[in-house]
């Protein structure tokens, strides 16, 4: 992390949108580091995400998450990927103002297929596919509201990265005109 610098991009979107995979490839293409806020939470707390949910509840996880996101977006100069629910916390949305936020959009079926066999606490429900679709429906408007760019994520990660890079470059050009 470099104090006082801004992230190249902050990736948001639902579980399974590819925030970590696309984030790593985007960071590589830009020659910068990726900071995955879920990993940062695990490093700082010394606990796994499911353990935090179990011990402190979702509210406890969201408090830690908001602190970490605010720190990371204020100090990390590379690519940042946020956990899928982070943008639902008002303090996180405030921390994102003025940053380049990329919404990796994916449909419920394709997104769920990518995380069906994971240990995501939010999907510990009698019908995880239905739960995923409900969570996505609840959050979709917020993802759009915080995003500077919306990118279709149901594609090969490198294609997604190339699309993000092209669109970031065209934004920079139009800002200079
Ligand atoms: C969550 C998504 C997870 C993780 C936690 C909660 C969510 O991150 O932050 O399990 O609320 O959607 P990913 O989006 O990286 O799966």
Q: What is the pLDDT of residue 5?
A: 77
Ligand 1 contact, 136 CB (< 6 A): no
Q: From first to last of the 177 residues of the chain, give the pLDDT tens digit.
A: 444 579 999 999 999 999 999 999 999 999 999 999 999 999 999 999 999 999 999 999 999 999 999 999 999 999 999 999 999 999 999 999 999 999 999 999 999 999 999 989 999 999 999 999 999 999 999 999 999 999 999 999 999 999 999 999 988 777 777
DSSP, residue by residue, 26-71: HHHHHT--EEEHHHHHHHHHSS-HHHHHHHHHHHHHHHHHHHHHHH
* Ligand 1 atom at minimal distance to the Cα of residue 88: 11
Contact partners, residue 1, CB within 8 Å, separation at least 6: 35, 72, 75, 76, 77
Q: Helix, strand or coil for residue 141?
A: helix
Q: Residue 105: name the closest of 172, 173, 164, 168 by CA.
A: 164
15 lines ligand 1 (CB under 6 A): yes
Binding residues: 16-21, 38, 62, 84, 120, 139, 155
Binding-site entries for Mg(2+): 20
Q: Tokens at residue 7, please? A: 């992230």
Tell me the pTM.
0.95
Atom 2 of ligand 1, nearest CA residue = 84
Q: Please tell me the predicted confidence (pLDDT) of residue 175.
A: 75
| Sheet arrangement for strand 34-36 | 34-36, 79-81, 9-12, 101-105, 149-152
Q: Residues marked as binding for ATP?
A: 16-21, 120, 155
Atom of ligand 1 nearest to the CA of 121: 10
Please determine, looking at this structure, whether the domain spanning 9-164 carries the CATH number 2.40.50.100.
no
Which residue CA neighbors atom 11 of ligand 1 most closely? 85
User: Which among 79, 85, 131 is the best mutation to test ligand 1's pocket, defined by most ligand atoms within 8 Å of the CB?
Assistant: 85
Total Cβ atoms within 10 A of residue 8: 24
Ligand 1 atom closest to Cα of residue 115? 16
């Amino acid at each position: 992390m470099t104090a006082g610098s801004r992230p190249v991009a902050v990736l948001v979107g639902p579980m399974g949108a590819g925030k970590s995979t696309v984030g790593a490839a985007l960071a590589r293409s830009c020659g910068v580091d990726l900071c995955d806020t879920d990993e940062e939470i695990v490093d700082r707390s010394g606990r796994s995400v499911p353990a935090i949910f179990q011990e402190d509840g979702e509210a406890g996880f969201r408090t830690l998450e908001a602190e970490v996101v605010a720190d990371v977006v204020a100090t990390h100069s590379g690519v940042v990927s946020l956990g899928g629910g982070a943008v639902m916390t008002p303090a996180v949305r405030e921390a994102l103002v003025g940053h380049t936020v990329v919404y990796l959009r994916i449909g419920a079926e394709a997104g769920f297929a990518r995380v069906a066999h994971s240990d995501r606490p939010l999907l510990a429900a009698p019908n995880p596919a239905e739960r995923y679709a409900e969570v996505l429906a609840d959050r979709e408007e917020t993802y759009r509201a915080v995003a500077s760019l919306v990118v279709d994520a149901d594609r090969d990660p490198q294609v997604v990265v190339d699309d993000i890079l092209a669109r970031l470059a065209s934004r920079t050009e139009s800002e200079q005109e």
